[in-house]
Amino acid sequence: MFDRLWNWVPNLWSNPISLLGSVLATVAGVALLVMLGLDVAGTATSPYQAAALIIAVPAMFVFGLLLIPLGLWIYRRSRAQRGLLPLSQAVAELFTTPAGHRRLFVVGGLTVVNLLLVSVATAKAVHWMDSPEFCGTACHTVMQPEWESYKDGPHARVACVDCHIGPGVSFLIRSKLDGLRQVWHTIRDDYSRPVPTPVHTLRPSRDICEKCHWPDKFHGNRLLYRIHTRQDEANTQEANVLMLKVGGRDPRTGAYRGIHWHVATDSDIVYEALDDKREVIGKIQVMREGKVVEEFLPPEESKGPVVESRTMDCIDCHNRPTHHFDLTPADALDRGFRQSKLDASVPWLRKVAEPLLARQDMTRDGAEQALRADLEAAYKAQYADKVPAADVLDKAAQGLAELWKDNVFPERGVTWGSYPNHIGHKSATPMKHGCYRCHDDKHKTAAGKVLSGDCEMCHEQLAQEETQEELGDLVKGLMPK
């Protein structure tokens, strides 16, 4: 029996097309088995090796398998045309003769094996394409800023697809089709620098964010500490302490109050965005049960063509929930001192470092060396009697370079302020970002009611620019170390 089967195998090589398919399928099949073995063994691969093994090799395997029957069909058809063997007779022999039965048995067995290989490879490919590593590193030249910020962000253990795609086959297919467009732009090297935000195709937060978070939950008031560093010799830390009126649905009354009333389930806020970044806001409507209960109009000078009409949700304020960047060098320095990336005992470091950190002409590979040289030169020019030791300058330059590389990606077009955070209203241009996009004291109803920008609507100031010694005992006790 095996001799007869072996004698039939050369039919696969009876024409160039089937021969090519046999070679491709064999090579790819062996590669798939090796790939699965490496995966079971836990061998690490680079993103490009993974792309080749998980996408290219299975595609080559399937292509080779398709070429084999195509070549045989063309070969049989040409023979039938020459009167050697009708195609219908060849097909009939598969079901009526012992030799045909053996061929069907071999083909069926190989088909089962091939289907298993392809299924495993497909499952592996889908799993890999759903991983954060695929999103962040397969096209790392494009997504490098987002990938770097994601790894150090509050959602670093949440897969990218959980937020950017969410559940549902239709959204998965849509995202993959959109991904093909992005790959094409990457190949052509004509993608946007920086990658534009917001993501206009992102699903509503009720489909994504609220799978884990619960804005209806009554949070009441929360203390918020903003720690800053003064530009004095001691790099003195000071605090702004706010009592945030987060609110939510009051369990006693059932009414929404506080900041989170904006996403109340019993009402909708529909606004017109007059630019792609949703920073210039036109008409704002408060709706309940599908009816407009309040309508705020912008001032005449702000009116313009409507780019988008949108129902407000979590992302309109929490627009950088994962990919967080410091807005200014001052913000980055405050963070550096808080996280001990910079040593507050180095005199005048806060004041000397800020203009150096604002540089945008450095390369990421050479940032530490450039900052080290500039730091020493700045100290000698401004505080010649306070120049730190060489090892102290080395460590300070290392911390500054880390902060700079967290925020500036010259080849990607990302620099200070490229991605503003709309939580609150801290900005170099405060009326453009955050709460003040709507609460600008200019949006009014026909009756004259104004969308107020009064700070006390959302928080109360408990301490302003006070050192730890100046804070009250209660506030000081709750202050994060």
- Span 94-121, mean pLDDT? 66
What type of residue is 202? Answer: L
- Burial class of residue 298 (count of CB atoms within 10 Å of its CB; 0-12, 13-18, 19+): buried
Is residue 451 in some structural domain?
Answer: yes
If asked whether residues 404 and 431 sit together in one domain, one would say no
Residue 200 lies in a domain: no
**215 within a domain of the structure (yes/no):** no
Q: What is the CA radius of gyration of the chain?
A: 32
Q: Both 257 and 311 in a single domain?
A: yes
3-state secondary structure 184-197: HHHHHCCCCCCCCC
Peptide bond before residue 198 is cis, with ω within 30 degrees of 0: yes
User: Are 333 and 364 in the same domain?
Assistant: yes
Indicate whether 207 belongs to any domain. Answer: no
269 and 343 part of one domain:
no
The pLDDT of 278-300, averaged and rounded, is 92
Q: Are residues 301 and 428 in the same domain?
A: yes
Is 210 within the bounds of a domain? Answer: no
Q: How far apart are CA 268 and CA 266, in angstroms?
A: 7
Query: Residue 337 is part of which domain span?
Result: 329-412
Angle at 185 between CA 180 and CA 190, to 5 degrees: 170
Instruction: Give the residue from 412, 434, 467 where a domain finishes.
Output: 412
Domain co-membership, 122 together with 144: no
Q: Is residue 124 part of a domain?
A: yes
Is residue 206 domain-resident?
no
Domain shared by 165 and 313, yes or no: no
| Band of residue 41 on the pLDDT scale cut at 50, 70, 90 | low
pLDDT of residue 1: 44
Dihedral sign of CA atoms 52, 58, 59, 61 in order: positive
Same domain, 113 and 41: yes
**Spatial distance between the Cα atoms of 302 and 296, rounded to a whole number of angstroms:** 13
If asked whether residues 152 and 119 sit together in one domain, one would say no
Give the whole-angstrom CA distance, residue 258 versus residue 440: 18
According to the model, what pLDDT value does residue 192 have?
85
In the chain, how many domains are there?
4
Q: What are the angstrom distances between the C-alpha of 170 and each of 130, 151, 167, 175, 416?
A: 15, 28, 9, 9, 37
Q: Where is the domain boundary, 392, 412, 432?
A: 412
The answer to the question of residue 250 being in a domain is yes
- In the predicted model, is pLDDT for residue 394 greater than 70? yes
311 shares its domain with 460? yes
Element (H, E) at 51: helix 47-51
Which of 183 and 235 is assigned the larger pLDDT?
235
Domain termination site, one of 360, 391, 412:
412
128-186: pLDDT as tens digits = 667 787 777 776 578 889 999 998 888 988 888 888 887 776 777 777 777 777 777 77
pLDDT value at residue 24: 72
Is the N-terminal amide bond of 410 cis, ω within 30° of 0?
no
**Do 312 and 387 sit in the same domain of this protein?**
no
pLDDT digits (tens, 9 = 90+) for 370-387: 999 999 999 999 999 999
Residues 43 and 187 in one domain: no
Give the model confidence (pLDDT) of 262-276 as tens digits. Answer: 988 889 999 999 999
